[in-house]
Amino acid sequence: MLLKKGLLLLLLFSFIACIENAPKTENKLVTNEIKVQNWIQKLRKSDEISDTDKHVLLQKALDSLKDKPDNFEKAHILNDISLSYLNLKDSINFIKTNSELQQLSKKLGYKKFLGLAHWDLGFFYQNIKADSAYHHFKKAYTAFTSSTLKEDEIQYPAKMLLNMSIVLQEMKDYAGAEVHAIRAIEELNIVERPKFLFIAYNTLAVIQNGMQKFDKSLEYHYRAKEMIDLAPEEKQAEFAAMNANNIAYQYLRKKEYATAFDLFDDLEAQRDLKEIRPGLYAKVLGSKAYSGFKSNALEINEVEELLEKSNILLDSLDDRYNLARNHEFQAEILAAKKDTLKAIRYATLAKSIAEETANNDRVLSSLKLLTTLDAKNSRAYADAYFNLSEDLQQQERLVQDKFARIRMETDEILVQNEILTRQRIILAIITLGLLVFGIAVFIIVNQRVLNQKLRFGQKQQESNQEIYNLMLSQYGKMEEGKKLEQKRVSEELHDGILGQMLGIRLVLSGLNERNDEASMQQRAELIEKLRDLEEEIRTISHELNQSAYEKVHNFIIAIEELVKTIDATSDINVNFTYDKNINWDHLQGDLKINSYRIIQECIQNSIKHAQCKYINIRFEYHNKLLNLSVADDGVGFDTTKGKRGIGIKNIVSRVKKLNGTLEINSIINKGTTITVAIPIIFDSINDPNSKVSRKIVQEA
């Protein structure tokens, strides 16, 4: 055994030394920290290592963490070291490491480890300072409920409620203890952890017993009995024995001694009870003896034998708390045997042990028994009973008030947190409402802008259509004038030239038979008249030819007039070229209007900004595209800099409306060229590539 212990210590020391000297790489660090956790857990559970050696090893492990980064693994190791010191009852090192764990947990936001730290502190203070224990269990509960717990940890909040309930029950704040126990049961059912329900119902039953509600206590003990099969298998035998003793004890408190005796007798008969729970076995012997005495199920000597056997076992376990109860039982039995002096001695012994173990309930019951046994000192015992009872009630009230304040302060904090949460929710709702309102306003304004643009577009379309209609009207008037002119020419030919030619023909016919000088002179004059008629006919022919074949109508005329206006009003030479084989006047009205405006805007920009001397305007039709370009020889500009003016924006808008493309090329001091390509579709009668349409147009 010593060799095994020595090897274990050597391995532990060697391992920790290796960790201290290990390279500080991230992967190595994580691996080493996990191994430290495993070794500390083994160390805590090992009975083969002395407490002194455990202290040395824990200090080594603690020192190894000094240069480690603050992370999850470090918090885990600190938690294990802190718990190990708690198990070793080393309060100084426990408080120190627990404080470090709390600081690290708060720094890193590890609520679970913060809860574990408070859980250990609650356990540490449970038998020292009840209000501090309750405070830390409450802190642990708050931390656990606000952290993400693993599947095997989700019962932690319910366990903290149980711990708070037990603290309140021990301080006889039964109302508060009952509330916490019921909440613990509810939470255990929610998280589906039935294996902890036995302890919860058993705690609730003990609380009811303290409130003198024996029937209710029995009810909860039987509920706890139903939960034994759901508890961990290794705990079921222990829980069954505990539950059987508690049920039997409730019947004893109810003074149903026969039932209590039968139950205690059955419990004593269990073979392994003495090995599993020797302390419980000793209590069962004492309870069986007393219930057997009260129910007359046992003889006096049998009762005394059982009590003596119980006393020996309790004494070997140093369980003086329950030994006081047995001595009180013995005093009552001796009084029944009329052995008053011995009864007083045992009652006094029970009182002394109860005072020594701070068992105030047993002190009161011993004093009450002594008032009936010791008539001589009955008044003194009665006064002592009264004074102690008053003091205990006063202390209970103070404790209950203190816990009530703690709960009230906690509830106030919860209310404040709830108010803050509600305020955050209201703020979030207001923010969301403002956001929705802002979006709605944006949508409404944007929709109005779109509607305004749409109305503007419609009005512009109507204006374009009106302009086109005016152009059509002007074209119609020109056609009418053309027809009138043709009619006039026809009349001139018919009434003037043809008449003269007829007269000349008739005169010449008469002169053909004459050869005199006068006739010859007259014929010469007539020939001269024919020459004049020839010139007149040639002139009319030229005019008609120009009217028939020159295909320049309103659209082109409008652009030429614009060019003439610029030429006349500025020093800029404007040149306009176009394909004369295309009937440009048969383009769609919207296309003509926008093309005209684009040219007009380009010319204005050149005049205003370019400082140019020459502007060239060109129209071409290719692949069903109108290629329109306006070029100048001005100062040019950098197309990558500066903001676009409203003129350029209007050009872009018009090109976009016509589904065309726009290209702006400009070189500093060399000029600017704006090129627009617009898709156009001629009607079948207007398509410049259609021979039929050209024939129809010519015949018109």
Tell me the pLDDT tens digit for each residue of 468-513. Answer: 777 767 767 777 777 766 665 665 565 456 656 756 666 676 666 6
Tens of pLDDT, residue by residue over 587-616, are 887 788 888 889 988 988 888 888 899 999
pLDDT at 51 over 50: yes
Give which of 234, 233, 322, 344 is closest to 278, Cα–Cα: 322
| Residue given tokens 């932690």 in the structure block | 156
Cα Rg of the chain (Å, integer): 59
Q: Are strands 614-622 and 661-667 parallel, antiparallel or unpaired?
A: unpaired
Contact 346, 324 (CB under 8 A): no
Q: At what angle do helices 197-210 and 156-170 cross, to 10 degrees?
A: 20
pLDDT of amino acid 206: 92
Single-letter code of the amino acid located at 285? L
Contact 673, 629 (CB under 8 A): yes
Average pLDDT over residues 51-67: 82
pLDDT at 563 over 50: yes
Tens of pLDDT, residue by residue over 299-331, are 999 999 999 999 999 999 999 989 999 999 999
End-to-end CA distance of the chain: 129
pLDDT at 14 over 50: no
User: What is the distance between the alpha carbons of residues 115 and 148, in angstroms, rounded to a whole number?
Assistant: 12
pLDDT of amino acid 244: 92
Local confidence band at 292 (pLDDT 50, 70, 90 cut-offs): very high
pLDDT at 9 over 50: no
- What average pLDDT is seen over the chain? 80
Q: Considering the entire predicted model, what is its pTM?
A: 0.54
Local confidence band at 144 (pLDDT 50, 70, 90 cut-offs): very high
Report the side by side order of strands in the sheet with 625-632: 573-577, 614-622, 625-632, 671-679, 661-667
pLDDT of amino acid 45: 61
φ/ψ of 681, rounded to 5, equals -125, 115
Q: Which two tokens stand for residue 457?
A: 């577009």
Contact 237, 275 (CB under 8 A): no
Contact 263, 244 (CB under 8 A): yes
Average pLDDT over residues 427-451: 88
pLDDT of amino acid 62: 83
φ/ψ of 574, rounded to 5, equals -110, 130
Local confidence band at 22 (pLDDT 50, 70, 90 cut-offs): very low
Local confidence band at 694 (pLDDT 50, 70, 90 cut-offs): very low
pLDDT of amino acid 15: 39
* Percentage of the chain exceeding pLDDT 70: 78
Between these two residues, 229 and 403, which has the higher pLDDT value?
A: 229
In sequence order, the 6+-apart residues with CB closer than 8 A to the CB of 696 are 685
Tens of pLDDT, residue by residue over 344-389, are 899 899 889 988 988 888 888 888 888 888 888 889 888 888 887 7
Single-letter code of the amino acid located at 547? S
pLDDT of amino acid 487: 60
pLDDT of amino acid 11: 37
| Residue given tokens 């609730």 in the structure block | 204
